[in-house]
Structure formats: structure tokens, C-alpha cells
């Protein structure tokens, strides 16, 4: 049996540039991030931990609280938000990120000392309503937008080789950035966009900072895994006897949480609700690849209909190899939507996926 402390120690000792961990909710991944931080707790009086590890998790939200009487979102005094908002003046970047991942009709407005935020919303007629209360999901996305702006600036600072040329020295000994599930209440389009943005940020880090990402969301796991070009991931499990284990997994296909069935459900739901987007071709290809691997085929294209094998392979390759952050968001044609429907049915019927009657 492994404790969270032992798993955190294993993550630290593995020591790669980036680690990606999947865990079902309730397994303990949020607590894992705080336990991991405590491994660096050498001197509490000098805040050594804070200088070596920065983490984002559900506890990060404790820095923010809602004042229902004045209808403002308050920020507790801390060095990081002060640095990012006051010293670096990145409040506009925070607003841009928040609107991109949620709703561009909602406008966050900071007060003068950046200790609280009020929110304004515009309706379809451009009529404005001040001091609205945003949803819990929007609160989480706002907090992530602040943290993401902090990450961008940290990586930019550490990419400067000469320490004396950096605008701050407080991140000079930072070793790890631990990110736990920044995907609360996001739809699939915005979830993919956030995952791609985060992966690009990590790829742009030229320093020796290491990244640990944990998530319970299979789609987020898959996008991060592929965007970072990873060869292995991990899954954190807890069995009925409360025994924890950190298992290494090769490939983005993770049968431990039936990711192929999740892909199938996403595609079926998109067809049913008539909400097919071009990124669904990426998911369709992924489902074909996983089925081919399971059945022992060397090429996923071997599973396509024989009469138009090359034709359908070209269509899937063309659409799934476009970059997720732009072309993949484009609206597909009606013909492309029919192809997704046809090829999904072909895969399910021909290769005998289990059906619940």
C-alpha cells in the first residue's frame, strides 16, 4: 500500500520535465498537490516551499471570496496576485483569458488596489448591468485566468538567462509548477482550447522548471498528452480497500478509465445534438486508432470501409492534423458531418462494440 506521501515522493524522484496524471474524482489528486508541496517544506520561516513550488488546485480558490453584500469578488492579500496585477499590470490579460474561456459579454473590473473585482454584463442589445454575481464555474475560470497570467509571466522571466535582467528574483529557485484540473465548467471547445494553451506554454518554457498536471477529465488528458508529444502518462488509482497506486501508462489510450468509450459517447452525443465540430474528426481518428490497437491491426486505416478506404483516411488525416486552436474550431460542412456519422456507425457495427439495450 502506498500513501500519498510516498506517491508524491515517487513523482519528485521520477524528475522528468513534465508529468501527466489521470485520477478519478475522490482518489486524492487535489490532496496530492499539497502533499507534494510539503516535500519541499525545508524552512517554514523563510517560505522556502513557496519559492520552490507553485501549485494550482481547489485550495487556490481560498484566496478569493465573494462579498454578497457589496457584490464583489475579493482577493486575499498575497504576493503573487499583487505582483501579477499591480507590479506587472497584467489585469487586461486576465480579463482577456476569462472572456475567451467563458463569455465575452461578462466584463471583470478591478478596483484601484486590485483587491476586489466587480462584474458587468452586456445583453444582446448592448444594455449593461453592473455588479452581477457570476456562477461558481465562472468564478473558477476567473481564478484560473489569474493563475494562468502568473504562469505566463513566470515562464517569461525564467526564460531570461541572466538573473540580473529579470524584473523579479522571487522565482529564481522555483523547481515545480503543479496544476490540478483547471477545467471546471468548461464546454468541450473551451476545454480543448485551454489544454492547447497550457501545452504551448509548457513547451515554451526553456528553463529547468518541471510541470506536474493532474486531471479527472479524459478529453483534457488526451489533448495535453498529444500536444506535449508525451510517450507515457500515469494513472492514480485507489481500490475498494483504499490502496493507492501510481501506474505508468504508455499512449493516450488508457483502458483503466475506458477512454475509448468516452470518445464514443462524445461523438454519439455530438451527432444526436447536431453539434458536430471539426475537432470531432480528431476524436474519431483517436477512436479508430484505439480500436485498431486493441484488435491487433498495425494501421487504423485498415478498419475503414474497403470500398473507399483511402478516401476516408485522407479526409480524417486532413481534418485531424490541423492545429486544435484554430482550424479545428471551424464549422464542418454537412457532408463532413455525415462522414463522421457514417464512419462512427461503421466502426460500432463492424467491430461489435457492446450496446446497452
pLDDT digits (tens, 9 = 90+) for 245-261: 888 877 654 444 456 77
Q: Cα–Cα distances in Å, from 297 out to 1, 184, 248, 302, 305?
A: 37, 37, 23, 7, 14
pLDDT digits (tens, 9 = 90+) for 211-247: 999 998 877 888 898 899 888 889 888 776 778 888 8
Q: Has residue 334 got a pLDDT over 80?
A: yes
Q: 157-162: long-range contacts at Cβ-Cβ below 8 A with a sequence spacing of 24 or more? A: 158/205, 158/206, 158/207, 158/209, 159/204, 159/205, 159/206, 159/207
pLDDT reported for residue 328: 42
Q: Has residue 319 got a pLDDT over 70?
A: no
pTM for this model (two decimals): 0.70
Determine the 3-state secondary structure of 179 from DSSP: strand
* Rounded mean pLDDT, 46-58: 73
**Domain 13-257: homologous superfamily in CATH:** P-loop containing nucleotide triphosphate hydrolases (3.40.50.300)
Residue with cell 499583487: 82
Compute the distance between CA of residue 203 and CA of residue 197 in angstroms, rounded to an integer: 10
Q: What angle do CA 243, 14, 242 make, to 5 degrees?
A: 5
pLDDT digits (tens, 9 = 90+) for 160-207: 999 999 988 889 999 999 999 887 677 777 888 899 999 999 999 999
Domain ranges of the chain: 13-257, 260-350
Amino acid at each position: 500500500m502506498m500513501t500519498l506521501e510516498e506517491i508524491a515522493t515517487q513523482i519528485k524522484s521520477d524528475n522528468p520535465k513534465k508529468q501527466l496524471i489521470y485520477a478519478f474524482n475522490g482518489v486524492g489528486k487535489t490532496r496530492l498537490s499539497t502533499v507534494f508541496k510539503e516535500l519541499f517544506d525545508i524552512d517554514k520561516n523563510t517560505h522556502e516551499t513557496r519559492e520552490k513550488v507553485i501549485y494550482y488546485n481547489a485550495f487556490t480558490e481560498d484566496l478569493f471570496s465573494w462579498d454578497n453584500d457589496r457584490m464583489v469578488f475579493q482577493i486575499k492579500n498575497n504576493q503573487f496576485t499583487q505582483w501579477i496585477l499591480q507590479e506587472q499590470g497584467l489585469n487586461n490579460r486576465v480579463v482577456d483569458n476569462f472572456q475567451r474561456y467563458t463569455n465575452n459579454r461578462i466584463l471583470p473590473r478591478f478596483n484601484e488596489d486590485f483587491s476586489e473585482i466587480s462584474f458587468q454584463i452586456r445583453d444582446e442589445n448592448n444594455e449593461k448591468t453592473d455588479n452581477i454575481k457570476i456562477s461558481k464555474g465562472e468564478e473558477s475560470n476567473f481564478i484560473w485566468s489569474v493563475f494562468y497570467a502568473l504562469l505566463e509571466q513566470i515562464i517569461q522571466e525564467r526564460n531570461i538567462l541572466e538573473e540580473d535582467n529579470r524584473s523579479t528574483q522571487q522565482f529564481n529557485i522555483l523547481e515545480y509548477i503543479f496544476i490540478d484540473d483547471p477545467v471546471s465548467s468548461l464546454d468541450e471547445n473551451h476545454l480543448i482550447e485551454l489544454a492547447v494553451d497550457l501545452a504551448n506554454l509548457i513547451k515554451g518554457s526553456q528553463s529547468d522548471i518541471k510541470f506536474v498536471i493532474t486531471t479527472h477529465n479524459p478529453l483534457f488528458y488526451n489533448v495535453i498528452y498529444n500536444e506535449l508529444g508525451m510517450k507515457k502518462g500515469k494513472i492514480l488509482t485507489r481500490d475498494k480497500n483504499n490502496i493507492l497506486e501510481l501506474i505508468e501508462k504508455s499512449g493516450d489510450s488508457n483502458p483503466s478509465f475506458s477512454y475509448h468509450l468516452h470518445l464514443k459517447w462524445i461523438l454519439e452525443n455530438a451527432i444526436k445534438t447536431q453539434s458536430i465540430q471539426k475537432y470531432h474528426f480528431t476524436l474519431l481518428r483517436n477512436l479508430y486508432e484505439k480500436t485498431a490497437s486493441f484488435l491487433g491491426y498495425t494501421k487504423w486505416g485498415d478498419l475503414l470501409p474497403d470500398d473507399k478506404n483511402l478516401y476516408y483516411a485522407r479526409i480524417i488525416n486532413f481534418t485531424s492534423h490541423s492545429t486544435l486552436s484554430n482550424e479545428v474550431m471551424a464549422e464542418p460542412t454537412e457532408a463532413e458531418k455525415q462522414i463522421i456519422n457514417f464512419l462512427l456507425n461503421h466502426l460500432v457495427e463492424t467491430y461489435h462494440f457492446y450496446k446497452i439495450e
